[in-house]
Amino acid sequence: MSTLEKTCNNFTPDKVRVRLEQYAIARKRITYGNLVEDINGVRGKGHVFQRYLRQAFIQIDREDRRCGRPCITAMVVRQDTCNPGMGFYVGKCDMAKMTEADLEEFSEQLQELVIAYYAKKDSDTSE
């Protein structure tokens, strides 16, 4: 198994979710590159690992929908725009009818829901 394959095996939905929950509890967004660094311990460009992140995100989104949780992958943003990448919006809204400002507002509202959900979950477990 190559080093890249070993590295990419780190992007399991469980490992990614743990990191995203930590950021949601801290009320912070995370860039794709920083998520890669957090999981691998090495700075990497998010686009290099895009396929592996996307596979994990799809499974996480499905589980969130099934369990009635807000979409935690909303916390992962592009460094240049501070918004999720365009793939995030697929299946979540009608992008054809939305302006860039609409998409930004949509993602901010989702991020607020995620933060509120995980803040409550964190306070419930610390009692």
**CA distance linking residue 29 with residue 27, whole number of Å:** 7
**pLDDT tens digit sequence for 14-24:** 999 999 999 99
> Which are the contacts of 54, defined by CB distance < 8 A and separation ≥ 6?
87
The pTM of this model reads 0.84
Rounded average pLDDT per 10-residue block, the chain, 127 residues = 60 92 95 85 66 88 95 94 88 83 92 94 69
Number of domains into which the chain is organized: 1
Range of the domain at 65: 3-126
Give the DSSP H/E element, type plus range, for residue 30: strand 30-31
As to burial, measured by CB atoms within 10 angstroms (0-12 exposed, 13-18 middle, 19+ buried), residue 101 is: exposed
